[in-house]
Structure 1
């Protein structure tokens, strides 16, 4: 939205919309005024083509993620989900289900602690809506004769313009990037996604 006539007007709208980053922007505010950030950006824009090249820059990147199979989810004697053993490590996980009808569905998630997350699916708390939903789905599917296979990924690789990046799955931003990328790839196959 914008442009705005004054910095105050732009900041007021940003606060009303819940925007925490309301620094000056050449598209929302005029190119004159006493704001030092705005003045610096106005100076950059005077360089014409150089500024346009910075804005229009295209980066080519690559992501690599390998799923490691862990085993299958089962239902124990107490009618609770039983997951394959896993460490307390950050990473991504994928539940791939084969239904008795032959249909395939998948759920992909990310977490800072895989063991704790699987424990949440086994014993979901009253406020854990997603954990409760997946628990009910998995329990019913397994009772009906379906199978659910678990895979994890605890490391990924990324590069931009042939330059290798340091991927650290302890950081949520990296996990979310790989989670969303994996969901896009799974969506290209004839698989029902449970990530709704």
Structure 2
């Protein structure tokens, strides 16, 4: 894994995604899935994932975002002109598990994981949704993804539920984490950033 210093993290900028970012976002998603979900999702499904297929879906999401007045938000993390990660969220039409908004995706290229960028992206999405009136946030994780589960637990997420779900014909298990008070999430991100800067 690439060693990333705090100074280099500061060189990563976050900005709102545009439709032109659909291909780069899709590439990050496919690379992240293929690296992360081995052993959780069948290899043949991961090996057959194509950037072109995911790009069409993300183009639709980004077009919808442009008309959603921050009820849908997607941010990309960029370094030296290259997109290295993205995060997205949305206000829920109706509360789920008592949560008003959902963090729908957080993905980073493997070499950039565990560098603090994921926390920054989560905070950016949460702030946008908070400005839309959300005071709570839900996120879903595949049960076996211990790295993601630890990430959300470190940010103060409470385990709400574990349940079966179906994805593209695959029967999987997922867990839902939530923050009933977004100020807890913000404080956790800030505390972790302060701790990192002291090392």
Query: Normalising by the residue count of structure 2, what TM-score does the alignment of the two structures yield?
Result: 0.22
User: If each structure's helix is expressed as a fraction of its own residues, which one has the higher value?
Assistant: 2
**TM, length-normalised to structure 1:** 0.22
Structure with larger Rg: 1
More strand by share: 2
Higher relative CO (CA 8 A, sep ≥ 6), structure 1 or 2?
A: 1
